[in-house]
């Protein structure tokens, strides 16, 4: 894991100095605290901040091919690199290092863009062809590792995080909010596509690549997508699906333990992280150190289940206990790392958890992220099935009573009365609606729009228009359950969970997360499981539970889904109110940003101060407004560079290698 940054001169403007690359990479030092590497010529510049995990002595970047015509910087891991390396050596390639990075450059030399299909990993990479004067960017299939870019004054700038792009030219690069994306976030919890909340800054979408050459021609493409809809025409026995899933997961876990440093695991007490931890324990020799979050508020705490798994597997376990105050205190730092407005405080405990991991001198952890999306685990999928079941016989009181089984873990569940539940879940909607499964959630979240400034709401298009244009063709051929899974996997997983709760919170403390459930072989296989077996009746992750039978305590294996959550408004108005609330939400700051209606925000503040346990909309609105205001202050109004004249870390003169 690392941070990457660089530029490519499209119109041959004056070449940036090495100092420009130093400014960019210094902003990513948290991603790569072990040292820096640089490459620069008249056309391009590459910078790398290293977190040493594989080939600790020799894997410094940028890395080149034999002739020094191709140069690569790479953030992430390629888990099948030993097998690929052996193949490349047999074809005559010479290696200077034992790193996974060098495997990519030789594979690209042989196959170009097609090399991406052979990589099993999580990555964002940049390859510069010095002879052709061409830059190639690519991102992993599921979007685990981030990659942002912009074109400014005839130059393409790219980096692992947006702050590094702004640092390249902090005076002239526009730092403005994209109100269209802000409205998308206040609908979907995240951006709807490649645009970010900062105008002109884009992300490379998951499973995509981009090239730019010396003439300024930019090409892009998609090399992979989740193959939902390709399920086996001949339905197999559940046991066969379970056996194959277990076999794939064992190998996905095994190769993700490849590292030259110790590898730990997150253990939440739920099925997914417990499954990964159990597979490590049963099928590898890896020494097992586990880490978890517990909460002072019992509504969110899973400490009892964590202790059960620790006792079952005899792990060396460490936990961080989160209070309302610790979440509130960490929140401004969390937002600075997410680089996007967030509607929940859930990233904050994971920020504190990665700090615990680093305190224990670990750099790598395996996690259970992704299982719910690909194997049918979330209540939003269960909700869609229940709504469709009721819609088939809308007058049935018996069927309508099933709504009470949804979201039982919430302090204020939406099914508080039968009539309210039917309106909330819109049981009369048609399953042919492309967004059938997500409408109730988006309707709830859209209630936060009343806080948006009139100019934000008036001058931006309907957020659903972008989703319709992007995915209409893909979604039309899928059943309602699979449509819901696809959107959850491609929208919320990539643009929120793997970003704001995954990469950013881990790398804030130089910790790499690895995700066995998101091994592309596991994802592709999961898409072939028929929808009625992914969630059998209302039994979520049915095949995973069968695959893990005998490897987990029965009550953990059959435990009902309890999504990871954290206290929202309670974290700011529970025990005490952080001093920064009055600053960021003052009328002066609200008017300066122009994002929200000051009068509406003031009323919400009064409501929160009187009663800190609020409903969905209030929680999302408050956290979303606060995070947006913090982001505006840190990145738009007062973006500052505090970079030493001489970088204090190791600088590798990589041009002299070989």
CA nearest to 334, candidates 167, 123, 501 = 501
The model's pLDDT over 467-498, given as tens digits with 9 standing for 90+, comes to 999 999 999 989 999 999 999 999 999 999 99
Confidence of residue 653 (pLDDT cuts 50, 70, 90): very low
The two counts, helices (H) then strands (E), for the chain are: 28, 18
CA nearest to 372, candidates 561, 572, 150 = 561
Domain boundary among 188, 208, 224: 224
What span, in angstroms and rounded, lies between the C-alpha atoms of 349 and 266? 13
Q: Is residue 401 one of the residues assigned to a domain?
A: yes
Q: Tell me the average pLDDT of the chain.
A: 91
What span, in angstroms and rounded, lies between the C-alpha atoms of 244 and 254? 15
CA nearest to 65, candidates 105, 108, 119 = 105
Could you please report the per-residue DSSP string of 481-549?
HHHHHHHIIIIIIIIIITIIIIIHHHHTTT-EEE-GGG-HHHHHHHTTS-HHHHSBTTBTTHHHHHHTT
Q: What pLDDT score does 233 carry?
A: 57
Same-domain pairing of 172 and 233:
no
The model's pLDDT over 42-89, given as tens digits with 9 standing for 90+, comes to 999 999 999 988 878 888 899 999 999 999 999 999 999 999 999 999
The tokens of 62 are what?
């940028």
Same-domain pairing of 186 and 291:
no
- Burial label for 131, CB within 10 Å (0-12, 13-18, 19+), is exposed
What span, in angstroms and rounded, lies between the C-alpha atoms of 271 and 428? 33
The model's pLDDT over 387-415, given as tens digits with 9 standing for 90+, comes to 888 887 777 767 767 776 676 666 555 65
Q: What pLDDT score does 428 carry?
A: 74
DSSP state of 568: S
Q: Is 51 helix (H, G, I), strand (E, B) or coil?
A: coil
Same-domain pairing of 141 and 288:
no
Same-domain pairing of 349 and 431:
yes
Same-domain pairing of 242 and 183:
no
Q: What pLDDT score does 232 carry?
A: 59
Q: What pLDDT score does 101 carry?
A: 96
Q: Is the pLDDT of residue 455 over 60?
A: yes
Q: What angle do CA 404, 409, 415 make, to 5 degrees?
A: 25
Q: Is 76 helix (H, G, I), strand (E, B) or coil?
A: strand
pTM above 0.85, yes or no: yes
CATH of the domain at 197: 3.60.20.10
Same-domain pairing of 242 and 176:
no
Let me know: does 105 contact 126? Beta carbons within 8 Å.
no
Partners of residue 48 on adjacent β-strands: 4, 37
Partners of residue 6 on adjacent β-strands: 46, 158
Question: Taking the CA of residue 637 as centre, how many other CA atoms within 13 Å lie in the half-sphere pointing to its CB?
Answer: 15
Sign of CA dihedral 321, 324, 325, 329: positive
The percent helix, strand, coil of the chain (3-state, each to 5) is 45, 15, 40
Let me know: does 527 contact 231? Beta carbons within 8 Å.
yes
Q: What pLDDT score does 300 carry?
A: 92
Q: Is residue 68 one of the residues assigned to a domain?
A: yes
Confidence of residue 355 (pLDDT cuts 50, 70, 90): very high
The residue with greater pLDDT, 451 or 407, is: 451
Q: What pLDDT score does 329 carry?
A: 97
Q: Is residue 657 one of the residues assigned to a domain?
A: no
pLDDT, average across residues 307-334 = 96
Same-domain pairing of 209 and 277:
no
Same-domain pairing of 220 and 255:
no
What span, in angstroms and rounded, lies between the C-alpha atoms of 319 and 315? 12
Q: Is the pLDDT of residue 281 over 90?
A: yes
Sign of CA dihedral 333, 338, 341, 344: negative
Q: What pLDDT score does 25 carry?
A: 95
What span, in angstroms and rounded, lies between the C-alpha atoms of 316 and 262? 13
Question: CB neighbours of 260 closer than 8 A, spacing ≥ 6?
Answer: 52, 53, 54, 55, 56
Domain boundary among 509, 543, 574: 574
Same-domain pairing of 485 and 512:
yes
Q: Residue 545 is part of which domain span? A: 228-445+473-574
What span, in angstroms and rounded, lies between the C-alpha atoms of 52 and 583? 40
Q: What angle do CA 436, 440, 446 make, to 5 degrees?
A: 120
Question: CB neighbours of 360 closer than 8 A, spacing ≥ 6?
Answer: 264, 289, 291, 318
User: What Rg do the C-alpha atoms of the chain give, in angstroms?
Assistant: 24
Domain boundary among 574, 598, 616: 574
DSSP state of 28: T
- 């709401």: which residue's tokens? 457
Same-domain pairing of 188 and 319:
no
Q: Is residue 169 one of the residues assigned to a domain?
A: yes
Let me know: does 207 contact 140? Beta carbons within 8 Å.
yes
Same-domain pairing of 96 and 235:
no
pLDDT, average across residues 3-17 = 88
Q: What pLDDT score does 405 carry?
A: 66
The tokens of 113 are what?
């863009």
Let me know: does 188 contact 442? Beta carbons within 8 Å.
yes
Confidence of residue 572 (pLDDT cuts 50, 70, 90): very high
Q: What pLDDT score does 79 carry?
A: 98
CATH of the domain at 561: 3.40.50.620
């Amino acid at each position: 894991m690392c941070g990457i940054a660089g530029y490519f001169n499209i119109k041959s403007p004056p070449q940036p100095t090495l100092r420009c690359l130093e400014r960019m990479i210094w902003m990513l030092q948290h991603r790569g605290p072990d040292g820096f590497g640089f490459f620069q010529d008249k056309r391009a510049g590459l910078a790398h901040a290293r977190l040493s995990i594989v080939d600790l002595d020799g894997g410094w970047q940028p890395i080149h091919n034999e002739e020094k015509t191709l140069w690569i910087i790479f953030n992430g891991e390629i888990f099948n690199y030993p097998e690929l390396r052996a193949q490349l050596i047999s074809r005559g390639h010479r290696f200077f290092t034992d790193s996974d990075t060098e495997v990519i450059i030789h594979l690209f030399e042989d196959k170009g863009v097609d090399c991406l299909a052979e990589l099993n990993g999580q990555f964002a990479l940049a390859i510069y062809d010095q002879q052709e004067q061409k830059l190639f960017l690519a991102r992993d299939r599921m979007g685990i590792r981030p990659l942002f870019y912009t074109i400014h004054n005839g130059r393409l700038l790219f980096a692992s995080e947006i702050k590094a792009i702004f640092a390249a030219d902090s005076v002239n690069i526009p730092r403005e909010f994209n109100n269209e994306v802000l409205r998308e976030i206040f609908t979907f919890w995240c951006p709807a596509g490649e645009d970010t909340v900062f105008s002109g800054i884009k992300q490379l979408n998951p499973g995509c690549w981009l090239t730019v050459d010396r003439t300024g021609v930019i090409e892009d493409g998609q090399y992979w997508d989740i193959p939902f809809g390709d399920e086996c025409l001949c339905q197999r026995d559940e046991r066969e699906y379970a056996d194959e899933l277990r076999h794939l997961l064992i190998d996905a876990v095994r190769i993700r333990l490849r590292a030259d440093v110790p590898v730990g695991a997150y253990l939440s007490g739920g099925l997914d992280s417990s499954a990964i931890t159990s597979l490590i324990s049963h099928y590898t020799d890896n020494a097992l150190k586990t880490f978890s979050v517990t909460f002072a508020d019992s509504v969110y705490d899973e400490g009892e289940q964590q202790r059960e798994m620790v006792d079952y597997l005899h792990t060396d376990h460490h936990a961080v206990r989160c209070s309302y105050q610790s979440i509130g205190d960490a929140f401004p730092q969390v937002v600075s790392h997410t680089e996007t407005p967030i509607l929940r405080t859930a990233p904050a405990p994971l920020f504190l958890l990665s700090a615990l991991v680093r305190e224990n001198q670990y750099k790598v952890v395996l996690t259970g992220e992704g299982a719910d999306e690909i194997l049918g685990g979330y209540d939003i999928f269960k909700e869609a099935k229940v709504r469709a079941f009721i819609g088939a016989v809308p007058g049935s009181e018996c069927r309508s009573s099933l709504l009470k089984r949804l979201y039982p873990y919430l302090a204020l569940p939406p099914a508080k009365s039968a009539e309210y539940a039917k309106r909330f879940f819109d049981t009369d909607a048609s399953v042919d609606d492309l967004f059938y499964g997500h409408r109730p959630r988006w309707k709830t979240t859209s209630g936060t729009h009343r806080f948006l400034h009139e100019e934000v709401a008036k001058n931006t298009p309907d957020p659903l228009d972008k989703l319709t244009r992007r995915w209409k063709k893909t979604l039309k051929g899928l059943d309602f359950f699979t449509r819901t899974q696809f959107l959850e996997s491609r929208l919320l997983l990539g643009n929120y969970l793997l970003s704001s709760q995954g990469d950013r919170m881990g790398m804030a403390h130089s910790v790499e997360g690895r995700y066995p459930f998101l091994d592309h072989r596991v994802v592709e296989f999961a898409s072939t499981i028929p929808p009625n077996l992914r969630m059998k009746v209302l039994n979520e992750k049915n095949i995973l539970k069968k695959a893990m039978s005998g490897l987990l305590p029965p009550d953990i294996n059959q435990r009902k889904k309890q999504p990871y959550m954290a206290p929202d408004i309670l974290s700011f108005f529970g025990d005490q109110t952080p001093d920064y609330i009055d600053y960021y939400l003052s009328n002066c700051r609200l008017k300066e940003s122009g994002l929200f209606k000051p009068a509406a925000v003031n009323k919400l503040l009064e409501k929160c101060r009187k009663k800190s346990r609020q409903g969905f909309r209030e929680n999302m609105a408050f956290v979303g407004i606060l995070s947006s205001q913090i982001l505006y202050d840190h990145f738009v109004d007062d973006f500052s560079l505090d970079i030493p004249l001489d970088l204090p870390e190791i600088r590798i003169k990589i041009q002299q290698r070989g």
